[in-house]
Amino acid sequence: GNSVTQMEGPVTLSEEAFLTINCTYTATGYPSLFWYVQYPGEGLQLLLKATKADDKGSNKGFEATYRKETTSFHLEKGSVQVSDSAVYFCALVSTSGTYKYIFGTGTRLKVLA
Amino acid sequence: ETGVTQSPTHLIKTRGQQVTLRCSSQSGHNTVSWYQQALGQGPQFIFQYYREEENGRGNFPPRFSGLQFPNYSSELNVNALELDDSALYLCASRERGGDYEQYFGPGTRLTVT
């Protein structure tokens, strides 16, 4: 079945450091891929998406490229801020069947001033 | 444009009781999904509704049931509550088709004692 694997956290970085959060997936067909962010006590917010191979999603300085050959969708940001501290979830949705989302277990990011 | 809203925000129930959670989908969205997010985990798909009918279900027992109304709002009902049902319950809505982007509500925190 479909699945998403994320690197375990927590990830602790100093402000302005480079961020990478790894995400790999297993899926049949051609899923769409997403990154969501969850701030403390809140629901999930869509951060970025990619719907086909080699697509690059980007938003608020975050980027991720849909790599079909490595089945990966790693999240990157060149310079993190304290306000980026949150939990980040990688997710896929199969484009056939019920279109349910499959989420990774989440990676907690803590950015220190 | 109104986003996804959920009620109540928090709820405390006793084992064996029944609970109903409510969700109003984002304007123009006709598909609603429910997710259970246990502490420290990623959201798990419960089921999805489209045109007032369930059209996809995750690995949850029948005591988890739902409804969708003509205005696309939705309810999640859980009977015979168990301690393990304690979680954040998230509702998400989207347009049918398109890029499969889902927009999440803030969630209802259910505690079963």
pLDDT per residue as tens digits for the range B18-37: 999 999 998 888 899 999 99
- Of A44, A97, A105, which is closest to B104 when you measure between CB atoms? A44
For residue B4, the chain A residue with the least C-alpha distance is A43
Q: Which residues of B touch A4 (CB under 8 A)?
A: 42
CB contact under 8 A, B43 and A89: yes
pLDDT at B1: 57
CB contact under 8 A, B90 and A43: yes
Provide the number of CB pairs (under 8 Å) joining chain A to chain B. 62
- Of B45, B106, B107, which is closest to A101 when you measure between CB atoms? B45
Let me know: does A71 contact A28? Beta carbons within 8 Å.
no
Place of tokens 């709820």: B11
- Of B40, B42, B56, which is closest to A103 when you measure between CB atoms? B42
CA B23: distance to chain centroid? 7
Q: Please provide the average confidence, as pLDDT, over all residues in chain A.
A: 93
Comparison of pLDDT for A94 and A88, the residue scoring more: A88
Which residues 51-90 on chain A approach chain B with CB closer than 8 angstroms? 51, 89
CB contact under 8 A, B42 and A32: no
pLDDT per residue as tens digits for the range B47-84: 999 889 998 899 999 999 999 999 889 999 999 999 99
SS3 of chain A: helix, strand, coil, percent, to 5: 5, 50, 45
> Cβ of B102 under 8 Å from any chain A Cβ?
yes
Distance, in Å, from the CA atom of A65 to the CA atom of A71, rounded to the nearest integer, reads 10
- φ/ψ (deg, to 5) at A8: -80, 145
pLDDT per residue as tens digits for the range B6-19: 999 999 999 999 99
Distance, in Å, from the CA atom of B33 to the CA atom of A91, rounded to the nearest integer, reads 15
Q: Which residues of B touch A97 (CB under 8 A)?
A: 56
Three-state SS letters, chain B? CCCCEEECCEEEECCCCCEEEEEECCCCCCEEEEEEECCCCCCEEEEEEECCEEEEECCCCCCEEEEECCCCCEEEEECCCCHHHCEEEEEEEECCCCCCCCEECCCEEEEEC
